[in-house]
Amino acid sequence: MADSKREVERKYEATPETRLPDLTRAAGVSAVVHRGLSELDAVYYDTEDFRLAADSLTLRRRTGGDDEGWHLKVPVSADIRDEIRAPLGDTLPPGLAGLLRSRVRNTPVTPVVRILSARDVHHLLDEDGALLAEVSIDEVLAERLTEEGHGTTSAWTEVEVELADGVDPALLDAVERRLRKAGIRPSAVPSKLSRALADTAPGKRRRTKKKEPSPRSAGDHVLAYVRRQVSALVELDPAVRRDLPDSVHRMRVATRRLRSAFRTYRGLLDRTVTDPLRDELKWLAAELGTERDQEVLEARLRAHVDALSEPLLLGPVSARLQLTSVARHTDARQRVVAALDTERYLTLLDSLDAFLADPPLRPAAARAPRDALPRAVLKDYERLAVRVGHALRQPPGAERDVAMHEARKAAKRVRYAAEAARPALGKPAKKFAKRMKTVQSVLGDHQDSVVARGALRTLAVRAHGAGESAFTWGLLYGREEAAAAAREGELPEVWARASHPGLRAALKG
Same fold, 3-199 and 220-362: no
Place 207 in a pLDDT band, splitting at 50, 70 and 90.
low
Task: Output the average pLDDT for the chain.
Answer: 93
Cα gap 500→435, rounded to integer Å:
10
The per-residue pLDDT for 2 is 65
Torsion on CA atoms 308, 310, 312, 315, rounded to nearest 10: 110
Query: Which pLDDT belongs to residue 1?
Result: 46
Mean pLDDT of all residues in 315-322: 90
- For the whole prediction, is pTM greater than 0.85? yes
Q: What is the CA radius of gyration of the chain?
A: 28
First to last CA, the chain: 57
Cα separation, 196 vs 296, whole angstroms? 45
Paired residues of 58 in beta bridges? 73
> pLDDT confidence of 77, banded at 50, 70, 90?
confident
- Classify domain 220-362 at the CATH superfamily level: CHAD domain (1.40.20.10)
Return the H-helix or E-strand segment holding 193: helix 192-199
What are the DSSP E strand ranges found in 126-222?
131-146, 149-163
Phi, psi angles (nearest 5°) of residue 233: -55, -50
pLDDT at 290: 80
In the chain, what are the domain boundaries?
A: 3-199, 220-362, 369-509
Q: How confident is the model at residue 211 (pLDDT cuts 50, 70, 90)?
A: low
Find the mean pLDDT for residues 418-428.
95
Check pLDDT > 60 for residue 414. Answer: yes
Band of the pLDDT at 151, cuts 50, 70, 90? confident
Instruction: Please give the share of the chain, as a percent, with pLDDT higher than 70.
Output: 97
Q: Rounded to an integer, what distance in angstroms lies between the CA atom of residue 508 and that of residue 496?
A: 19
Q: Which has the minimum average pLDDT: 96-100, 147-151, 307-311?
A: 147-151
Residue 274, strand partner residues: none
Considering the domain 3-199 in this protein, what is its CATH number?
Answer: 2.40.320.10
Q: Say which residue, 443 or 151, is predicted with more confidence.
A: 443
Confidence of residue 254 (pLDDT cuts 50, 70, 90): very high
pLDDT digits 0-9 by tens, 62-73:
999 888 999 999
The pLDDT of residue 208 is above 90: no
Q: What pLDDT was estimated at residue 466?
A: 93
